[in-house]
Amino acid sequence: MLAPARLTMRRGARIANPRPLSLLASSARVHALASSRGRMQQLSSHLNFTTTPSRLFSASAAAAGQVKPFVLADIGEGITECEIVKWLVKEGDVIEEFDPVVEVMSDKASVEITSPFSGKIASLAGAAGDMLKVGSVLCSIEVEGGEGEADAAVESAPEPSPAPASPPATPSSSSSATTLSPSSPAHSRPSNIEVLATPATRRFAREHNVDLASIAGTGRDGRVTKEDIWKFVSEGASAASPAPKQASAPTATSAPAAPAESTTIPLNSTRKAMYRAMSASLQIPHFSYSDVVDVTEIERMRLTLAANIPLQYRKTLKPADEATLARHEQWSGAAHVEPTRQFDRITLLPLLLKALSLAMSEHPIFTCTLSPPPSAGPASTDPSLVHRPTHDISVALSNPSPAGGLFTPVLRSVDSSSVFDLASRLAHLQSLLPTSGNGAPKFPPEYQGAGTLTLSNIGVIGGRTTHPVVPPTGQLAIGAIGRTRVEPRFVDEAKAKRVASGLEEAGARELKVEPRLVMDVTFSADHRVVEGVELARLVESWKRIVEYPARLAA
């Protein structure tokens, strides 16, 4: 068997009946199927060509790469333009379909955009940092011929009829099946393949376990494209092989499920109020200060207090305790508080509130409120500070009901309240929160209004650190405490610092470490009125009281 000869046009030769260029490509296919020099000579005599093994007449002009623009599509709802973060390709790079091309950023997200074509990057439309409008050209891609574009042109081109001036040679019996009739092209597929598709498309179908016979092609002459396969997969159609395709009836495909629709939910009155308050809060210049507080000693104090709750505050009483409480009521008037104010356990919060009140005594600016408050809008008069004679501290509470909402009821006169009284009022506030329905809590007048400070315990949720926002009620600061955790600490920190700084070389091995309970705290203040150093001093004073809580018993 001779190696297939290459078709080349004889220099100076004329074609008896000039053929379209598509005929040359078809002739090249016929020539590739020929298996003997004699059959090639018959074909060349019919087409007025000669065969030589040395020079090639390429049909690539018919399958020349087509440059396609890659248009930037809408990557999200309402997006009109994107910023180029970085290109993942450069001009001249050869890419495959679905390869990442560029990373862009909108005002909502940063995404990688993939190529819809396989081919070579012809040009890029911008550089990193440039803004591109949706619908503009992102880059140009020279589509590969191997993707089947040239093949599609060859297969769809009409075959010309033989020239009458050159009658075809009589074919032998061994080559009688080889003709140039359009009804039986030389490059016809095997009989078991019923769908037109490029090799790349067939490979893509195999990767997604999709039978091409179940897809209606949208390409030229019913050709199945990668887009058809991708649409078939994305619509949730079954990838299992269907029954053999019937020529008389099209293959039925399952209808895609209707997409879920968005639902508009209007804000309830609670969230509307929160919306307005937080919008006003962001008009306040904030200054934040964070630190880590050792709560080991105050936690031990909490355990001691929890084991010695006065009888009038206890929610659960033994018979002997009830008799004792009755005698106390008779002689001292210490009546049992109402059930909604009773409790059986104490958290750290009432102790931290009491410590904060002591710190406010050392920094009286935090017992003041700003007048007029930020929620009043642009001030009609000069702003001023209103000093309060009592320490009124608000606590942040979240409504557990579906209605949601954030509330900051105030605990008045914390400076003259005991830890047990604060724990009783906190228990009362918890009882006022609805556990079902869509209602908002109804706080009695004693909890209404605004404090001069707010303390938020985010640690009950599990977070360690947060940066709170100052409410627009005229108060000057807000604090947030995180979750307590155990960390190793040196028993003698002063000696550990000397060893770490090189002032003591001996005794490093004698340093002892013990587990301590610590938590992160962050305070934010209205920086229009409060200096940063004033907020830092307040937090440091509060930290010293918490870490050495003996002052709480004074």
- With 0-12 CB in 10 A as exposed, 13-18 as middle and 19+ as buried, what is 387? exposed
Report pLDDT digits (tens) over 206-222: 877 888 888 888 887 78
Residue 97 shares a structural domain with residue 208: no
Residue 120 shares a structural domain with residue 197: no
Helix (H, G, I), strand (E, B) or coil at 130: coil
Dihedrals phi, psi of 46, to nearest 5 degrees? -70, -40
* Residues 95, 97, 101: CA angle, nearest 5 degrees: 60
- In total, how many domains does the chain have? 5
Q: In this structure, what token pair is assigned to residue 155?
A: 């297969």
Report pLDDT digits (tens) over 250-294: 444 555 666 788 888 888 777 788 888 888 888 889 999 999 999
In a domain, 279, yes or no: no
Q: Is the N-terminal amide bond of 383 cis, ω within 30° of 0?
A: no
Arithmetic mean of pLDDT, 341-348: 93
What residues are paired with 6 via a beta bridge?
52
Query: Where in the sequence is the domain holding 519, given as residue range(s)?
Result: 284-309+346-553
Pick the last residue of a domain from 229, 252, 275: 252
* Radius of gyration from C-alpha coordinates of the chain: 42
Question: Residue 237 maps to which CATH number?
Answer: 4.10.320.10
The region, left, alpha or beta by phi > 0 then psi within -120 to 50, assigned to residue 209 is left
Is this prediction's pTM over 0.85?
no
In a domain, 452, yes or no: yes
Asked if residues 438 and 268 have their Cβ atoms less than 8 Å apart, the reply is: yes
In a domain, 492, yes or no: yes
Q: In this structure, what token pair is assigned to residue 515?
A: 């587990």
Q: What 8-state DSSP symbol labels residue 487? A: E
Residue 457 has pLDDT above 80, yes or no: yes
Q: What 8-state DSSP symbol labels residue 403? A: T
Residue 393 shares a structural domain with residue 499: yes
CA 451 to centroid of chain Cα atoms: 38
Residue 400 shares a structural domain with residue 496: yes
In a domain, 263, yes or no: no
Question: Residue 352 maps to which CATH number?
Answer: 3.30.559.10
Report pLDDT digits (tens) over 82-125: 778 789 999 999 998 888 999 876 544 557 788 888 889 999 98
Tell me how far apart the alpha carbons of residues 467 and 191 are, in angstroms, rounded to a whole number. Answer: 71
Residue 548 shares a structural domain with residue 431: yes
Residue 434 shares a structural domain with residue 301: yes
Residue 391 shares a structural domain with residue 497: yes
Helix (H, G, I), strand (E, B) or coil at 369: strand
pLDDT at residue 306 in the model: 94
Residue 208 shares a structural domain with residue 296: no
Distance between the two ends of the chain, CA-based, in angstroms?
A: 111
Residue 398 shares a structural domain with residue 492: yes
Residue 486 shares a structural domain with residue 364: yes
Asked if residues 196 and 215 have their Cβ atoms less than 8 Å apart, the reply is: no
In a domain, 445, yes or no: yes
Residue 375 shares a structural domain with residue 338: no
In a domain, 257, yes or no: no
Tell me how far apart the alpha carbons of residues 374 and 281 are, in angstroms, rounded to a whole number. Answer: 8
Q: In this structure, what token pair is assigned to residue 47?
A: 């087409």
Maximum average pLDDT range among 78-82, 155-159, 167-171: 78-82
In a domain, 273, yes or no: no
Report pLDDT digits (tens) over 375-415: 666 655 788 999 999 999 999 988 777 667 788 899 999 99
Question: Residue 104 maps to which CATH number?
Answer: 2.40.50.100
pLDDT at residue 390 in the model: 95
Residue 509 shares a structural domain with residue 402: yes
In a domain, 274, yes or no: no
